[in-house]
């Protein structure tokens, strides 16, 4: 039985940006559709400015989308107000990249972890509150005594564990993790990734896992969506993205991952260009200027996602 727990349809989010005295409207997310099945991890991978973070923040309404629809279970996320929105946010929890910036330095770890419960008055007594904090800290591999400590007393890995504890305390259905291990050293990154995989199994969490790191995404995700310039260009099972990348951008991205194997070096100078300016988007496919398969049609018409081959793979490319 697979039930879709979160459905995003044709999401568009844009921002006003001022540069050199001129105002621009930047379409950070430009028509993204995704669905998250209960219990699965959907990875969103892409490079800076591709809109992956804005997708995550739109879903929890940290930014207001221009158009599109977001449904969590049977609730319309975009029209939720007041109590409905607060309750929904107990179920859709975020984990951020920089746990130092996302934990209030003047509040104890315990207070930060319990904050969502406090706001929604879910604890019936002080004792219950303390017990829930201790239980949650234990679940993320921290001693319960960390509840009385402050963020500056913790290492980066411990802070990110506290960030995860804060997310899981209200027993959410969905975690939206935005680059949760990117600020950590590799040896600590592996510990935190293992923790997230364990919690996912123990708590039956569904996860939207956003990262620029193909290795991390490939490790934790069941399915992967690849984003470029505000759009999903390819989506399929994680193995299929890693082994059988179809879209020319996905292939370039895979080829650029520095493999930890000196016998697989990329030889010589590589000049594959840079993404176009956000302020001056080309018509047609945003990847056209860098694409080896480019044709006339690519410069005129935006390619739509369509099924290609097996693996439930969808790709937005005219030339495959």
Partner 1 sequence: MLSVRDLTVSIGSDAAPVDIVSGVSFDIGKGEILGLVGESGCGKSMTSLAVMGLLPQPGPRIRGGRIELVGADVTTLQPWQRVEAGHGRIAMIFQEPMTSLNPVRRIGDQIAEAVRVHDGLSGAAAWTRARELLEQVRIPDAALQLSAYPHQLSGGQRQRIMIAIALACRPQVLIADEPTTALDVTIQIQILGLLRDLCNRLDMSILFITHDMGVIAQLADRVAVMYGGRIVETADVATLFGEPRHHYTRGLMDCMPVRNLGARRLPTIAGQAPRPGTIRTGCVFAPRCVAAQDVCRTATPPRLALGEGHEALCAFPLDAGRPS
> Rule CB under 8 A: is residue 153 a binding residue for partner 1?
no
Q: Closer to partner 1 at the Cβ: 4 or 272?
A: 272
* Piece of the chain touching partner 1 by CB under 8 A; list 74-82, 112-120, 153-161, 305-313: 153-161
> Rule CB under 8 A: is residue 213 a binding residue for partner 1?
yes
User: What would the x/- binding string for partner 1 be over residues 268 to 287, using CB under 8 A?
Assistant: xxxxx-x-------------
> Rule CB under 8 A: is residue 42 a binding residue for partner 1?
no
SS3 assignment for the chain: CCCEEEEEEEEEEEEEEEECCEEEEEEEEEEEEEEEECCCEEEEECCCCCCHHHHHHHHCCCCCCCEEEEEECCEECCCCCHHHHHHHHHHEEEECCCHHHHCCCCCCHHHHHHHHHHHCCCCCCHHHHHHHHHHHHHHCCCCHHHHHCCHHHCCHHHHHHHHHHHHHCCCCCEEEEECCCCCCCHHHHHHHHHHHHHHHHHHCCEEEEEECCHHHHHHHCCEEEEEECCEEEEEEEHHHHHHCCCCHHHHHHHHHCCCCCHHHCCCCCCCCCCCCCCCCCCCCCCCHHHCCCCCHHHHHCCCCCEECCCCCCEECCCCC
User: What would the x/- binding string for partner 1 be over residues 186 to 205, using CB under 8 A?
Assistant: xxxxxx-xx--x--------
Binding partner 1 (rule: CB under 8 A), the pick from 78, 122, 242, 289 is: 242
> Rule CB under 8 A: is residue 127 a binding residue for partner 1?
no
> Rule CB under 8 A: is residue 260 a binding residue for partner 1?
yes
* Piece of the chain touching partner 1 by CB under 8 A; list 8-16, 93-101, 139-147, 155-163: 155-163
CB of 263 to partner 1, least distance (A): 7
Q: Closer to partner 1 at the Cβ: 6 or 193?
A: 193
User: What residues make contact with partner 1 under the rule CB under 8 A?
Assistant: 47-48, 155-157, 185-191, 193-194, 197, 212-216, 218-219, 239, 242, 252-253, 255-266, 268-272, 274
């Amino acid at each position: 039985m697979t039930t879709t727990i979160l459905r995003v349809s044709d999401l568009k989010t844009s921002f006003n940006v001022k540069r050199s005295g001129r105002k621009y409207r930047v379409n950070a997310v430009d028509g993204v559709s995704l669905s998250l099945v209960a219990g699965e991890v959907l990875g969103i991978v892409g490079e800076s400015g591709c809109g992956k973070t804005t997708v995550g923040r739109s879903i929890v309404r940290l930014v207001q989308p221009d158009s599109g629809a977001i449904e969590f279970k049977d609730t319309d996320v975009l029209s939720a107000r007041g109590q409905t929105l607060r309750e929904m946010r107990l179920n859709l929890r975020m984990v951020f990249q920089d746990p130092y910036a996302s934990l209030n330095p003047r509040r104890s770890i315990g207070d930060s972890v319990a904050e969502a419960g406090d706001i929604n008055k879910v604890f019936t007594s002080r004792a219950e509150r303390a017990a829930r904090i201790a239980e949650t800290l234990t679940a993320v591999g921290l001693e319960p005594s960390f509840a009385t400590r402050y963020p500056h007393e913790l290492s980066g890995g411990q802070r990110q564990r506290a960030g995860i504890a804060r997310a899981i305390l209200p027993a959410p259905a969905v975690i939206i993790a935005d680059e949760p291990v990117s600020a950590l050293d590799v040896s600590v990154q592996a510990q935190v990734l293992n923790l997230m995989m364990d919690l996912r199994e123990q708590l039956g969490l569904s996860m939207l896992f956003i990262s620029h790191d193909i290795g991390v995404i490939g490790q934790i995700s069941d399915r992967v969506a690849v984003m470029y310039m505000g759009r999903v260009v390819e989506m399929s099972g994680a193995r299929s993205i890693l082994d059988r990348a179809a879209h020319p951008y996905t292939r370039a991205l895979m080829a650029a991952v520095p493999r930890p194997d000196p016998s697989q070096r990329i030889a010589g100078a590589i000049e594959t260009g840079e993404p176009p300016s956000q302020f001056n988007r080309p018509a047609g496919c945003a990847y056209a200027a860098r694409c080896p398969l480019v044709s006339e049609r690519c410069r005129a018409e935006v390619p739509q996602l369509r099924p290609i081959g097996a693996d439930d793979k969808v790709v937005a490319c005219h030339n495959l």
